[in-house]
Amino acid sequence: MVVLFCAGLFGADRLEAVFEKATAALASQDYSNAERGFQAVLRSQPGNIAALGNLGVVYSRTHRYSQAIDVYRRALRIAPADKGLNTNLGLAYVKQEQYASAVPVFEKLSADPANFQARELLAACRLSLGRLEPAMQVLEPLHAADPNNAGVLYMMGVALVRMKRTD
């Protein structure tokens, strides 16, 4: 009994070391070693949210957005309210130009009025889909909160021109 318990502890220590090495590899942009490390952690702990999220980052940074989306969705089945995972999922959709898939993700994140990034991304997705009035509904409060935000001003200009409201 004691032998099994100790073996379990050493396995956990080893797994933690693998995770830390994978995290360091990710930080130094050594994506192949980071990927191998996070996959090794996930073989032992398939529900490890940190490993799933970081593996999604590896896939995103190496332009494998479909794989990133799959990993983020898998992680979100475990932790559906995780803001970082949701943001990364939405960004992966945007990179794939899957704006219609990104909209509900950013709508959910935009429920937090302090999440300016999600609101800007929601407006950008709506604008990309030609949903001009809904984009303006998001952009106007953002503009009121930060009148000098160049990104918001640009998107408002694009929307207004497309709506033929050049006045």
Q: Which domains does the chain have, with CATH numbers?
A: 1-96 (1.25.40.10), 103-167 (no CATH)
Query: What tens digit of pLDDT does each residue of 65-97 get?
Result: 999 999 999 999 999 999 999 999 999 999 999
Residue 4 in this model has a pLDDT that exceeds 50:
no
Query: What tens digit of pLDDT does each residue of 12-61 get?
Result: 679 999 999 999 999 999 999 999 999 999 999 999 999 999 999 999 99
Q: What is the pLDDT of residue 31?
A: 98
DSSP structure string for 46-106: TT-HHHHHHHHHHHHHTT-HHHHHHHHHHHHHH-TT-HHHHHHHHHHHHHTT-HHHHHHHH
Three-state SS sequence of 141-163: HHHHHCCCCHHHHHHHHHHHHHC
Q: What is the pLDDT of residue 166?
A: 83
pTM of structure: 0.88
Query: What tens digit of pLDDT does each residue of 105-163 get?
Result: 999 999 998 999 999 999 999 999 999 999 999 999 999 999 999 999 999 999 999 99
Query: What tens digit of pLDDT does each residue of 32-42 get?
Result: 999 999 999 99
